[in-house]
Structure 1
Amino acid sequence: MPTNSLDIRDLELNALLEITQAINNNLPEEDLYKIYRFTVLADLKVRRLALYVKDDNWECKVHFGTSSDWSKVFLPQDFWNIRSGRALTSDDGPFDDFDEVIPVLHKDRLLAVIFIGGLGKESKSVDSTFLRALTNIIIVAIENKKLARKQLQQEAYRKELEIAKKVQNFLFPKELPQTHRLKIEAVYLPHQDVGGDYYDYLTIDNDRFLVCVADVSGKGVPAALLMSNFQASLRTLIRKTQDPKEIVTELNHVITDSGNAENFITFFLGIYDFTEKTFEYVNCGHNPLYLVRPDEVIELNNGTTILGMFNPLPFLETTKIEGLDDFMFFGYTDGLTETFNKSDEQFGEERLMEFFENGVPEDINQLHTQIFKSLDQFRQDTPYRDDITMLSCLVKN
C-alpha cells in the first residue's frame, strides 16, 4: 500500500478515535460540533465546509473556510431530499462556493447535508464515504442525547402529573351530605390527567352551608398548586367570616399575589341558611349557574369579574334570594356547555336549561347521568375539549 494511502488511513483513524472519545466522554452537543470542525479541518484537510443538520428545521451547525455566515443562509428545498452526492455548479446559488454536496443518511432518513470545497493536493483523496460515516456517527450520537433528554423530560412530566393528581384529589370533599333535607352530588371528568376544575362543600354551622365551583386557568402542577392554595385560603377565611364580599376580596388578593397576574380563576360561591331560608351568592366571572325552584329557574349571574386579574376588584355585589324551601342549585364549569359536535356547534346553555323545565328533580344523580347521555349523543365521536364538573345540591327544608 502506498505511503500516501497509509497516511490517509492514519488520519481517518485518528479522526474516528477523537470523535469516539468525545462521544464516550458525554460532551455536550456544542463541544461535539467543535471537535468535528477541528477534526475535519485539521486531520482530513477539508478547506471549506458547511454542515446542515435537520432538527425542527434545517440549521447550519458547522461552517468554515468562506466569508459567508452559513448559519444565516437558508437551505433550499432542492437539498431537503437529496440521496446521493454530486458536484455543485453555478446553478446552486451561494453554494457554488463549494465543490461537492454529500448527503448523510441513517436508515434511509436524511440527517445532514455536507457542503465541501477547496480540496488541495493534500486532500484530493478525501474519502467522501468516510466523511459521511464520521458525520453520521456524531449526528446519531447527538440525536441519541436528544432522545435521552426527551425521555428524562417525559419522566419528569409524568412524575409532575402524579403529584398534580394527588394534590387535586385532596381538594375535593371526601364525603357529600345525603340526608332528607340536603343531598349533594358531584361529578368531575378531567379532559387530561390533571385539570383545573374545583368544587367544594363546607358546613358553616348547624344552619348554614357553603357550596362553590371554580375553574383555574392553566393545567398541570402550577394549576393544581394554585387551586390548592385557593382552597386552603377559602377554608381558613370561612372560619373567620361568612360575608361573601370579604371572602371574595381576600381570595382575589391571594390569587393576585400568588399568580402574578398570569393565572386567574372563575369562581362561584353560595351560602344557604336553613333558618332564614335564604341563598346568598356571588359569581366571579363564572358561567351562569342555576337555582331551580318548582315554578321557575333563576340564573345566578351577579357578582364581579374573574379573580386574579385586578386588585382591587373593579366592582363587587352579592345577591340574596329569599323564601327558599324546596329547590335545587346546579353548578358546573364551561366544559359542559362548550362541548362541540362534528359541525363545531356548542352544546350550549339552552340545551342544558331543558333539563330544568319540569322543576326540581327528585334524583340529582340521575340528572347528571341524563346530562352526560345527552352530551354523548350530541358530540358523537367528537372528543371533549375541556374538563367538565357538575355539582347539584337538592334542598328540602
Structure 2
Amino acid sequence: MEYNVDVVEISRTITDIIDDHILVCNPDWQIIFSNKAMQHSLGYADMELKQKSLLEIITDIHINKAESFIKNVSEKPSALEEFLFNGKHGLTKLHVKILKKNNLLYIYGNEKHAEYERIKKRMDIEVKNAIKIHRRSLPESLPDTENISFASLYIPAQDLGGDLFDVFKVDNGLLNDYFDQYVCFVADVSGHGLDSAMLAIFVKDTISSYFKLKHIPGQVLSPKEIMNFFLEQYIKEGYPMEYLVCIFFAVFDLKTYELTYCNAGFHICPILVADKGNIIELNKGSFPVTTAIDFDFYNYEDHSLHLFPEMTLFIMSDGLPEQRFDNEFYEERLKNLITDIYNLKPVHIVKKIHDDFNDFVKHERINDDITLVVAKLS
C-alpha cells in the first residue's frame, strides 16, 4: 500500500511538538512561520504573528541590539542571546539563536537549554573552585631528611579526585628532641567527583583535628586511635550509606625504628621492601569507613614491625594497580618494577613508575584516581 507523504505537514508537526521556540521571517523581517511553543510563549495565534514583523514584537530597549544582531547573522547559528519580546499579555524573556538560510531568518531557542547553560556555567565555576580547594589540601612538598624521605604520585581520573594523602612530622612541642615520628596516610573515597573530593577534604580536616584536639606531646601515637576518632566523627556527620572511605594510616618512629599501621579497607596492600628476597605485604586490615556498617562491627587494630635502613614502603590506592589496558591489569607489571627500582631515591622511584605507567596505558583514559606514596629510610 502506498501513502502520499506531506513533508511540509510532517515538518510542521515536528516543530509543534518540540520545546524549541521557532520563528521564521522573510527578508523584510515579516513573520511567516511560528510554532506552537512560540505562540504559547507570546500569547498570539499563528495568524496574529503572521501580521507582525520581528521588530514589532521585540521591546524598544532591545531594538538596537536586535538590529545589530541580525545585521551580522550568517548560516552559522549565533551564540545564545537574551531578548525581551512584546507578548500579547506582557513582556516575555526568551533566549534565542539566529541564523540566515535561503534568504530567510530563523529565530529559535529553548528555555530549558538556556537554564541548563546557566546551571552548567554556575557548576563550572563551583567545580573550578572545588579543584583549587582540593589541590590546596594536598601537600606542596613531602619530608626529605637524612633519615627518611618521601615522594608521591597523584593523578585524578577527572578534574576532581576522591583520593587524598599527606605526610608530616609529628609535633611533640618541648619534647621534640626525644621523638622523631612521621605520619603518612592515604585515603580513597568512593567515586571521583565533586562530592568525593569534598569528602576527601573532610578526611584530612578530621585527621588534623585529632592532632590539634587529642594528641598530647610525648604520648604514644596509635593509628588505631586516630582511625577510631575519624570513624566517630564520620558517623556523627551522617554521610549517606553509599559512600566508602578507605584509609591506610602509618606512623614511622625513627627513634625506635618501628612502623605502626592501621588499614581501614585498603585491599591493595602496601608493600615494604628490604631487598628482592625480603618483600613484605602489610596485609592486616579491617573494614572501610561507612555508615552502612554498624559501629559495633568495627575493631581497628595497630600492627607493628621493625624497620631497617634502606627499607622502602609503597602505599597506593587501587587506581594504580587496577588500571587495565588490553585486558591486562597493571598490578603484576608494577610489582616486578618495584623489585628493580626499590633501591633508588623516592623521587626517582616515582618518576620511573609514572613513566612506566604511561607506557602501559598508551594514553588511554584512566579509570580511577591514582595515588602513590613512597617512603624510604636512609
- Shorter-chain TM band: 0.5 to 0.7
2:127 aligned to which of 161, 164, 188: 161
Instruction: Tell me if structure 2 keeps the 8 A contact 1:104–1:135.
Output: no
Please identify which structure carries the higher helix content.
1
Q: Report the Cα offset of residue 247 of structure 1.
A: 1.0
Q: Which residue of 2 aligns with 1:238?
A: 211
Distance 1:363 1:313, change over 3 A: same
Q: How does 1:289-328 map to 2 (within 5 A)?
A: 289-294=270-275, 295-309=277-291, 310=293, 311-328=295-312
Distance 1:324 1:82, change over 3 A: farther
CA distance in 2, matches of 1:82, 1:111: 19
> Structure 1 counterpart of 2:236, which letter?
D
2:331 equivalent to 1:352 = no
Q: Which residue of 1 aligns with 2:80?
A: none
Q: Deviations over 1:351-379 (max 9, x none)?
A: 21112324732222222222122222222
Unaligned runs of 5+ in 2: 20-30, 42-93, 96-108, 173-178, 216-220
Larger radius of gyration, structure 1 or 2? Answer: 1
Q: Report the Cα offset of residue 262 of structure 1.
A: 3.4
Q: Which residue of 1 aligns with 2:9?
A: 85
Q: Which residue of 1 aligns with 2:81?
A: none
Distance 1:272 1:152, change over 3 A: same
Q: Which residue of 2 aligns with 1:336?
A: 320
Distance 1:225 1:359, change over 3 A: closer
SS at match of 2:337: helix
Q: How does 1:16-165 map to 2 (within 5 A)?
A: 83-85=7-9, 103-105=13-15, 111=18, 133-135=34-36, 137-138=38-39, 143-165=109-131
CA distance in 1, matches of 2:137, 2:6: 56
Q: Deviations over 1:238-260 (max 9, x none)?
A: 35242211111121122233213
Q: Report the Cα offset of residue 136 of structure 1.
A: 5.5
Looking at both structures, which has the greater relative contact order when contacts are Cα pairs under 8 Å and sequence separation is at least 6? 2
Distance 1:139 1:162, change over 3 A: farther
> Structure 1 counterpart of 2:317, which letter?
T
Q: Report the Cα offset of residue 161 of structure 1.
A: 0.9
Distance 1:139 1:290, change over 3 A: farther
Q: Report the Cα offset of residue 149 of structure 1.
A: 0.6
Unaligned runs of 5+ in 1: 1-77, 87-100, 113-129
Distance 1:308 1:276, change over 3 A: same
Q: Report the Cα offset of residue 104 of structure 1.
A: 3.3
Distance 1:163 1:139, change over 3 A: farther
What is the identity percentage for the equivalent residue pairs of Structure 1 and Structure 2?
22
CA distance in 2, matches of 1:358, 1:377: 17
- Say what the alpha-carbon RMSD is for the aligned residues: 2.9
TM-score normalised over the length of structure 2: 0.67
Distance 1:381 1:218, change over 3 A: closer
Distance 1:195 1:139, change over 3 A: farther
Q: Which residue of 2 aligns with 1:387?
A: 369
Give the number of aligned pairs.
282
TM-score normalised over the length of structure 1: 0.64
Q: Which residue of 1 aligns with 2:28?
A: none
Q: Which residue of 2 aligns with 1:214?
A: 187
